[in-house]
Structure 1
């Protein structure tokens, strides 16, 4: 019997090219969000719509990706990663090009939904491809490199977007996305080894499970994203919450019986896996709970322009980019427990520093604290992702990758929503104070709570089981 194509090792000389293909997807995933957000004011002006309407341009992309990540991860395990991954680049390229041609906001939102389908196909499989095509002793290094590239994408998006919008208008940002996606398609088509999925007793797709997951993810993210706008007890939020709970119950019942479940509960029976996922969720919540408030501190308290505030915000992804590759390489040698726990503890210390900044704090001190926070999370995330991908069976790498990427999106939504809710509640209770003292007090509460949450994340990292070095099954 011949060896299945998916199990043939990648030739050594091709490995660096495979990683470069996956890095293109990692770059695109963060570049897209940053570059599109910069263009929103111009889009709103051209289409003559409100900010709340144009905000759907990035929101539907996030909603679509989050709803489909688990599905495309499972489909890749069943039918082959390359075809799903490569198809994702094709969809992003096609519908990014169509974004350039749109002449009304509704068509733009529709094309962004279809872009999100492609984005989910890419994001759900990048980590799995990088894990499957390299030996275990290189896993941390490669995942760290991908983390650095993703951080570079988040740096390049706003800065490059601002330049091209100023010179040629907002449509040019979709030209950039089309170019990156087309490059990724061509590279992955010719370089990533062909595979046809893993041997399974059945390749029957769990369509009902997929439907429940889509409904559950959309209702959860939509509801949580709009908590502070509609009110926690508004009919819209209560309806979204009810749909989510019903969907969650349906998912649990369905997926425990499904032959090829979209959400594989068998993975969560591994203590190392579920504790790593919880720690990852906490890390993303703390990340976005602080970064969403920092621009207001730079502008409202220190009095800097939006352009300078945006420049100072680059300290965070820069710190992450610098640390991620180093931490990934080190995790291949010493394991993940010390690095992930240290990263979360250092993140807590950076948050405490931010909680104590004031009106007279030198801006360089604030920038260094933000840089330190980015570096500490880079120290955590690369080894943690290496741990997640290292403990799952190869025929479930896509499912694990999809869960890992979904956690990032959920952490972002929860971090932003909870931090804004806590901040606003504190501001409302300090109406007797001037704006700046009330602002500093309120952000201090958010940052202290995030620091405490980061310590909890460190405890999960310390007590996940195993010997601190993830071995592939």
Structure 2
């Protein structure tokens, strides 16, 4: 079989990696760029903050609920079709988000455009890792996963900063317009770089429509409940109804998918303990990262007294360290293996969370930045090899499914982690404040001490959970499905074989 040692295949490999990296950057960016513009949008449309929050919530609900569906669709009709269609939908709807709401003077036009944008984002995010697993040789997969993780981290980090600059110096509309030129370039690049070959042979069985409905309702209801629970109250009828709907839909989903010949999510994959360990490791890692990323700005502003812009700059230490280690881990995967890097990353992240326990009002800026960098560096060593390990275990005809599962394990647990950290922090504050008899009239230094103690208790809990990630990394094993050992998949797909 032909080996990809010429300059032309190498160029196509590089362009394919760039296409995937741009996709992950755009979808990650849009998950964080909007939040900072919500107060401006609230003023323009004269709406309360609870209503305007649907600009972010609607996107998250539809994105999370749709990813697994599009992963399965991609396995059936081909990755290139879904990927490019997703970019076209995402780019067009980004323009709609920025242009039509003010044209029609309607906030709900913005929500509709955001739903459409989420559908495009789900199509992109569902299969980005699958493109690497399906078309790149084993010697390049680790490096590519590292680059993709790096760009995803960069998008998440750049979102609040870029959103603030665009909103302040141009207008809120530009947080959406920024996607249009990038999307056009990505479509042109992907049209050339991504092979058009299908990934699954044979006549497809009927599409699992009931499974698609159950996944969307179950995940969407769960994300809604955890996103709005703190604001509405966990005993609010809407939250209780959403939790009940999520439990019923996801519970029945498991039963239904186990009886379906061609399921959207094949739970039989989890019979492989190694596959289960790796996916739990990834989900828990994103869960803790979501909680920490939510709490740290509050610590910097309430305890250290930093202004929002300074806090944002300090927090970039975590993301930039994650980017650097993502690239480095990709370079080391072939020589050290995924498992060793995951163990090293999990240990470093856990050590960083332990150092958070020492944060106080007296902590120096150097110590805080250094600790952020330790956590970010460990996450890059953990997430890139972990993603690579999960994709390597999947047979070729399930790459889209597993790729979309990994995307859900990123977006869903981050949201759950935010809710977990918020509830834990509030409870810690109430407990400490009651124990020390702190009231609204107490001196400011006493209040800051209570805040610091509250953060301290949450960071201890996060460190304790991070030890489970270490255990899962140790239990995991490098395992490659026979399908993924075949070289020349890219060339075969280009040739239409």
TM-score normalised by the shorter chain: which range applies?
Answer: over 0.9
Partner of 2:93: 95
For the pair 1:50 / 2:48, whether they are aligned, the reply is yes
TM-score of the aligned structures, taking structure 1 as reference length: 0.95
2:393/2:479 contact within 8 Å kept: no
Residues 22-76 of structure 1, C-alpha deviation per residue, up to 9 Å, x if partnerless?
A: 1110110111123222221211111111111111111111111100111000110
Matches within 5 A, 1:249-328: 249-328=251-330
Once the two structures are TM-superposed, the CA of residue 471 in structure 1 deviates from its matched residue by: 5.0
CA distance in 1, matches of 2:416, 2:32: 19
Once the two structures are TM-superposed, the CA of residue 227 in structure 1 deviates from its matched residue by: 2.4
Matches within 5 A, 1:41-190: 41-101=39-99, 102-103=101-102, 104-190=106-192
Once the two structures are TM-superposed, the CA of residue 469 in structure 1 deviates from its matched residue by: 5.3
Partner of 1:13: 11
Once the two structures are TM-superposed, the CA of residue 308 in structure 1 deviates from its matched residue by: 0.6
For the pair 1:417 / 2:419, whether they are aligned, the reply is yes
Change (3 A) 1:163 1:218: same
The SS at the match of 2:178 is helix
Once the two structures are TM-superposed, the CA of residue 180 in structure 1 deviates from its matched residue by: 1.8
Once the two structures are TM-superposed, the CA of residue 231 in structure 1 deviates from its matched residue by: 2.8
- Bigger mean CA offset, 225-234 vs 255-264: 225-234
- Bigger mean CA offset, 123-132 vs 200-209: 200-209
Q: CA-atom RMSD, angstroms?
A: 1.6
1:79/1:196 contact within 8 Å kept: yes
Residues 223-245 of structure 1, C-alpha deviation per residue, up to 9 Å, x if partnerless?
A: 12222223333322221121112
2:199/2:396 contact within 8 Å kept: no
- Bigger mean CA offset, 380-389 vs 354-363: 354-363
**Which residue among 429, 448, 465 is the counterpart of 1:436?**
448
CA distance in 1, matches of 2:73, 2:261: 13
CA distance in 2, matches of 1:170, 1:428: 37
Once the two structures are TM-superposed, the CA of residue 349 in structure 1 deviates from its matched residue by: 1.1
Query: Which residues of structure 2 form unaligned runs of 5+?
Result: 2-7, 439-445, 484-497
1:392/1:472 contact within 8 Å kept: no
CA distance in 2, matches of 1:210, 1:271: 26
1:289/1:446 contact within 8 Å kept: no
Alignment length (residue pairs): 463
Matches within 5 A, 1:231-246: 231-246=233-248
For the pair 1:37 / 2:39, whether they are aligned, the reply is no
CA distance in 2, matches of 1:12, 1:375: 29
CA distance in 2, matches of 1:376, 1:366: 16
Residues 309-351 of structure 1, C-alpha deviation per residue, up to 9 Å, x if partnerless?
A: 1111111111100101111221222212221122112111111
Query: Which residues of structure 1 form unaligned runs of 5+?
Result: 4-9
Once the two structures are TM-superposed, the CA of residue 201 in structure 1 deviates from its matched residue by: 4.3
The SS at the match of 1:262 is coil
Once the two structures are TM-superposed, the CA of residue 472 in structure 1 deviates from its matched residue by: 4.7
Partner of 1:6: none
TM-score of the aligned structures, taking structure 2 as reference length: 0.90
CA distance in 2, matches of 1:149, 1:172: 21
Once the two structures are TM-superposed, the CA of residue 261 in structure 1 deviates from its matched residue by: 0.7
Partner of 1:27: 25
